[in-house]
Amino acid sequence: MPLKTIRLELARTKEFPDGSAAHGYEFTAPLDPEGHLDTDAWTEHRQLCMVHRFWPGEADEHGQLRRTRGGRWVFSYEPGDEDDEPIFKFDKHAFAEGEYVSITEHDGVSRPFRVVQIRKAHALS
């Protein structure tokens, strides 16, 4: 099972011109050998695909990596879709350190995040 823990940190924005290691996400997801999300493995092991959002001044959030009926990937923290954070073209990204992804957060703002670390998920140890 190819589960990995992926750490995303806020990339350069107007508010954080140098980015910020204190703002971001860590999530667990299955990756294929090329670093893309493995949808079949996610379907089989989705209960292990968790997310942790960390943001100074806000409570940490813990939830799941979900795929909507429409095929979009989201981070979800509560039942229903009210709090879902859509991830732009998540299924098209090859996850590699130094790459970027965009996440539309609770406030409706899409922010860039840089992949800073990919490691074997603890669930596999």
Domain residue ranges in the chain = 3-124
Place of tokens 């509560």: 78
pLDDT digits (tens, 9 = 90+) for 77-99: 987 777 778 787 777 888 999 99
At 7, is the pLDDT very low, low, confident or very high (cuts 50, 70, 90)? very high
Look at residue 125 in the predicted model and tell me its pLDDT.
38
Is the pLDDT assigned to residue 118 strictly greater than 50?
A: yes
Alpha-carbon span 98 to 122, nearest angstrom: 22
Sequence-distant (≥ 6) Cβ neighbours of residue 20 within 8 angstroms: 9, 10
Is the predicted pLDDT of residue 100 greater than 50, yes or no?
A: yes
- C-alpha–C-alpha distance, residues 108 and 33, integer Å: 33
Indicate if the pLDDT at residue 40 is higher than 50: yes
pLDDT of 19: 97
Say if residue 123's pLDDT is above 60.
no
Token reading at 51? 């997310």
- What is the average per-residue pLDDT within 51-73? 92
Question: What is the pTM (predicted TM-score) of this model?
Answer: 0.90
If DSSP codes are grouped into helix, strand and coil, which group holds residue 100? strand
**Residue-averaged pLDDT of the chain:** 89
